[in-house]
């Protein structure tokens, strides 16, 4: 039996004063990428120096200005990487590199060796503060744990005095989510005081969900509580560093922003320890989808995916928010129908505002314009097939025709699975455009009789066609070419028919454009109906082809 009793609920504080539920995200936070540190430390094959350099440059291109580049005291690669950035003058003046170190003097010393020559650096110190870690990892009292952090701060401060560049201190009470809040406040305050943070020279206090342990609202309560209990709040930049153990890293971060966080540390696509750090791109795109400037250059997601997969050697999941191959694709009929109508309404209304059901953003805005938003399988419906015919091939099928054509496509998808746009077009050709047996239209001559006749009909047509390959012709009159051809065909076939509907449109714009015509035809004897389609550079010829196509589809071409 599942032994859930081995697990305990994380304590939740009573906090009815919370204000965050009434707030909205208004602007982007200060972003900090930790891809090169937290992300990298969780890779099966951590990045080599050249990959780190490539990733660093790309993060700058994306718009990150705070970039945690590693843990230089931990390994030679990390150290050398930073040295290369400095020696090759690759750190722009407005970028703050961030380096992580434990609160141990030899590591802090080595970290300062690594940052020599940097103009501005965030030195990030941490120690674990949770009840569990104090007990089983450190075996220390609260005061002893505070002493580690305070001592670490002093070691950084001493070295910062003589450092030619600017040192910003960041402190993280690691395992904050498992730490009693009063203790978290005490330790952060002790560091803040020891550092001597001011409004002009603030400290970054980073409250991580090192391990995500509760629902996002509890994290938000904790952040708001800390935010409202800090003394000299203006001397603190309040940062969050969420992980994603419960799969709610993004939600936790967004609620934390409501609760007062000003800065977010995370990674591209949520790489990082276990289930990852929070995916900063996901949050940025969420903001973008709400009309908020994400303050990151996230308009070329394909490029970002390519670099990420190459450097991290981890594929982006096809369902990953915004980035996955399938996230802008609808297979199911009702979604396709709504997308089809939504896109059409946008065009008709010439709308500046993006409003398409099931597509929270326009894929083209983030560089995904070449991917199909509709793919056809057995779950698809008529709207999807019509959408493919329109967007890929320019055929705007009359609404009444959607069902008829979709049925033939569904018969294929039920046998083979997905049906490609080319296959759909091929089927359209076979079913409509090339339905040339038994009767096949060849030539048309139209005479305008207006003024020459007293009859109600003012158009005479002469049609040459083949019937089972044998050339024939007929002449007929009617109140327009389509009517005349229909009357002529009735005569030669010996069958009453009625044109129920007629539609036409240009297929491409320009002088040599083709036109498509659609005829909805009723066989009056049997009551059966079908559509016929014709294409020609001449609209009248297109219509006549459409009538022949419909007659052949009804199977009445040889009745006489």
Ligand X SMILES: CC(C)C(=O)C(=O)O
Residue 138 as a binder of ligand ACO (CB under 6 A): the answer is yes
Q: What is the CA radius of gyration of the chain?
A: 35
Please report, for residues 87, 293, 553, the alpha-carbon distance to residue 314 in angstroms, rounded to integers and kept in the order given.
30, 28, 52
Q: In the complex with ligand X, which residue's Cβ is closer, 241 or 545?
A: 241
What is the closest distance, in whole angstroms, from the C-beta atom of residue 177 to ligand X in the complex?
9
Q: Terminal CA-to-CA distance of the chain, rounded, Å? A: 77
The two three-digit tokens of residue 499, written as one number: 């044109």
Confirm if 279 and 250 have CB atoms less than 8 A apart.
yes
Cβ at position 252, least distance to ligand X in Å:
12
- Phi, then psi, of 501 in degrees rounded to 5: -160, 150
Q: Which span (57-65, 70-78, 424-432, 530-538) binds ligand ACO, by CB under 6 A? A: 70-78
Give least dist CB 259 to ligand X, A: 18
For the bound state, the minimum distance from the C-beta of residue 129 to ligand ACO, rounded and expressed in Å, comes to 10
Tokens read off for 274:
């276990």
Instruction: State which residue, 227 or 265, has the beta carbon closest to ligand X.
Output: 265
> Nearest approach, Cβ of 267 to ligand ACO (angstroms)?
12
Q: Min. distance of Cβ 124 from ligand X in angstroms?
A: 7
Task: Report if residue 38 touches ligand ACO, rule: CB under 6 A.
Answer: yes
Q: Cβ 64 to ligand ACO, closest distance in Å?
A: 19
Number of other CB atoms surrounding residue 93 within 10 Å = 7
74 contributes a contact to ligand ACO by CB under 6 A: yes
Residues 229 and 67: their CA atoms lie apart, in Å, by 28
Sheet holding 497-506, edge to edge: 497-506, 515-523, 529-536
Burial class (CB in 10 A: 0-12, 13-18, 19+), 169: buried
Which option in ligand ACO, Mg ion, ligand X, none does residue 282 bind, with CB closer than 5 to 8 A by kind? none
Q: Pick the binder of ligand ACO from 85, 91, 103, 444 (CB under 6 A).
A: 103
Residue ranges in contact with ligand X by CB under 6 A: 38, 100, 126, 172, 174, 206, 208, 210, 241, 243
Judged by CB under 5 A, the chain residues 348 through 367 that form the site for Mg ion are none
423, 539 Cβ separation under 8 angstroms:
no
Is 517 within 8 Å of 543 (Cβ atoms)?
yes
Is 277 annotated for ligand binding? Answer: yes
Tell me how far, at minimum, the Cβ of 162 lies from Mg ion, in Å. Answer: 30
Contact status: 71 vs ligand ACO (CB under 6 A): yes
Distance of closest approach, residue 172 Cβ to ligand ACO, in angstroms: 8
Per DSSP (E only), the strands in 385-458 are 439-448
Please identify, using beta-carbon distances, which residue of 178 and 384 lies nearer to ligand ACO. Answer: 178
Residue 210 in the binding site for ligand ACO (CB under 6 A): yes
**Which of ligand X, ligand ACO, Mg ion, none is residue 172 near (CB under 5 to 8 Å by kind)?**
ligand X
HSE (side-chain half, CA atoms, 13 Å) at 402: 19
User: Does 404 engage in binding with Mg ion (CB under 5 A)?
Assistant: no
146 contacts which partner out of Mg ion, ligand ACO, ligand X, none, CB within 5 to 8 A by kind?
none
- Residue in 32, 74, 67, 38 with CA at minimum distance from that of residue 53: 67
Least Cα distance to 173 among 133, 122, 233, 117 occurs for: 133
Residues 147-206 contacting ligand ACO, CB under 6 A = 148, 174
Nearest residue to 397 via CA among 304, 311, 519: 519
Task: Between 78 and 337, name the residue whose CB sits nearer to ligand X.
Answer: 78
Among 18, 20, 41, 438, which residue sits at the site for ligand ACO (rule: CB under 6 A)? Answer: 41
| 536: helix, strand or coil | strand
Considering only residues 21 through 60, tell me which ones interact with Mg ion, judged by CB under 5 A.
38
With CB under 5 A as the rule, give the number of residues binding Mg ion: 1
127 binds ligand ACO (CB under 6 A): yes
Query: Which of residues 23, 65, 83, 104 is near ligand ACO by CB under 6 A?
Result: 104
- Given candidates 58, 126, 328, 432, which one binds ligand ACO under the rule CB under 6 A? 126
How many whole angstroms separate alpha carbon 421 and alpha carbon 430? 14
Contact partner at residue 206 from Mg ion, ligand X, ligand ACO, none, CB < 5 to 8 Å by partner kind: ligand X
Element (H, E) at 60: helix 49-62
Q: Which residues contact 478 (CB under 8 A, 6 or more apart)?
A: 457, 459, 461, 484, 485, 486, 487, 488
Residue 243 marked as a ligand binder: yes
Tokens 């054509």 found at = 405
Q: Per-residue contact track with Mg ion, 126 to 145, x per CB under 5 A? A: --------------------
In this structure, are residues 489 and 524 in contact, taking their beta carbons and an 8 Å threshold? Answer: no
Looking at the Cβ atoms of 97 and 211, the one nearer to Mg ion is: 211
Pick the closest to residue 99 from 109, 242, 128, 277 (CA basis).
109
CB 226 within 8 A of CB 184: yes
**Smallest distance from the beta carbon of 270 to ligand ACO, in angstroms?**
15
Alpha helices in 441-517, H assignment, sequence order = 481-493
Please count the CA atoms within 13 angstroms of the CA of 180 that sit on its side-chain side: 7
Q: Is 210 or 248 the residue whose CB approaches ligand ACO more closely?
A: 210
Q: Pick between residue 275 and residue 408 the one whose CB is nearest to Mg ion.
A: 275
Residues that bind Mg ion (CB under 5 A): 38
Residues that bind ligand ACO (CB under 6 A): 38, 41, 71, 74-75, 102-104, 126-127, 138, 148, 174, 210
Q: Which residues are annotated as a binding site?
A: 38, 241, 243, 277
Q: Which residues are annotated as a binding site for Mg(2+)?
A: 38, 241, 243, 277
């Amino acid at each position: 039996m599942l032994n859930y009793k081995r697990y305990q609920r994380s304590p939740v504080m009573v906090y009815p004063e919370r204000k965050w539920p009434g707030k909205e995200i208004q602007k982007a936070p200060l972003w900090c990428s930790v891809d090169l540190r937290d992300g990298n430390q969780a890779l099966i094959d951590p990045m080599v120096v050249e990959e780190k350099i490539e990733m660093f440059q790309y993060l700058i291109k994306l718009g990150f200005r705070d970039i945690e580049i590693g843990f230089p005291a931990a390994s030679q690669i990390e150290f050398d990487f930073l040295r290369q950035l400095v020696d090759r003058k690759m750190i722009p003046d407005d970028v703050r590199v961030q380096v992580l170190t434990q609160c141990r003097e030899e590591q802090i010393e080595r970290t300062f060796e690594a940052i020599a020559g940097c103009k501005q650096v965030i030195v990030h110190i941490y120690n674990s503060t949770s009840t569990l870690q104090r007990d089983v990892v450190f075996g220390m009292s609260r005061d002893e744990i505070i002493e580690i952090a305070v001592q670490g701060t002093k070691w950084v401060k001493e070295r910062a005095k003589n450092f030619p560049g600017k040192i910003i201190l960041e402190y993280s009470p690691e395992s904050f989510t498992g730490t009693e809040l009063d203790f978290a406040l005490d330790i952060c305050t002790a560091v803040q005081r020891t550092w001597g943070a001011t409004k002009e020279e603030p400290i970054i206090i980073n409250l991580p969900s090192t391990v995500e342990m509760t629902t996002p609202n509890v994290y938000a309560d904790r952040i708001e509580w800390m935010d409202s209990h800090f003394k000299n709040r203006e001397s603190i930049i309040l940062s969050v560093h969420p992980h994603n153990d419960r799969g709610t890293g993004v939600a936790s971060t967004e609620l934390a922003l409501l609760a007062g966080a000003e800065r977010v540390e995370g990674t591209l696509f949520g790489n990082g320890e276990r289930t990852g750090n929070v995916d900063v791109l996901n949050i940025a795109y969420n903001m973008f989808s709400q009309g908020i400037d994400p303050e990151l250059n996230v308009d070329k997601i394909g490029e970002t995916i390519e670099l990420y997969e190459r450097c991290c050697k981890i594929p982006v999941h096809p369902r990953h928010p915004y980035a996955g191959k399938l996230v802008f694709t609808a297979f199911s009929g009702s979604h396709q129908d709504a997308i089809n109508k939504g896109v059409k309404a946008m065009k008709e209304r010439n709308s500046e505002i993006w409003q398409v059901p099931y597509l929270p953003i326009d894929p083209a805005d983030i560089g995904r314009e070449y991917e199909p938003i509709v793919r056809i399988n057995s779950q698809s419906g008529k709207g999807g097939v019509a959408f493919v015919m329109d967007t890929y091939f320019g055929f705007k099928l009359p609404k009444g025709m959607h069902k008829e054509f979709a049925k033939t496509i569904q018969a294929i998808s039920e046998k083979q699975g997905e049906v490609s746009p080319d296959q759909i077009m091929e089927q359209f050709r076979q079913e409509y455009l090339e339905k040339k047996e038994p009767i096949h239209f060849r030539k048309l001559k139209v005479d305008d009789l207006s003024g020459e006749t007293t009859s109600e009909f003012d158009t005479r047509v002469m049609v040459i066609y083949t019937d089972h390959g044998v050339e024939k012709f007929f002449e007929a009159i009617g109140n327009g070419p389509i009517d005349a051809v229909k009357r002529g065909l009735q005569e030669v076939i010996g069958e009453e028919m009625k044109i129920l509907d007629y539609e036409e449109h240009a297929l491409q714009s320009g002088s040599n454009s083709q036109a498509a015509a659609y005829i909805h035809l009723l066989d009056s004897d049997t009551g059966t109906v079908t559509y016929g389609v014709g294409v020609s550079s001449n609209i009248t010829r297109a219509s006549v082809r459409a009538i022949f196509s419909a007659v052949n589809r009804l199977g009445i071409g040889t009745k006489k």
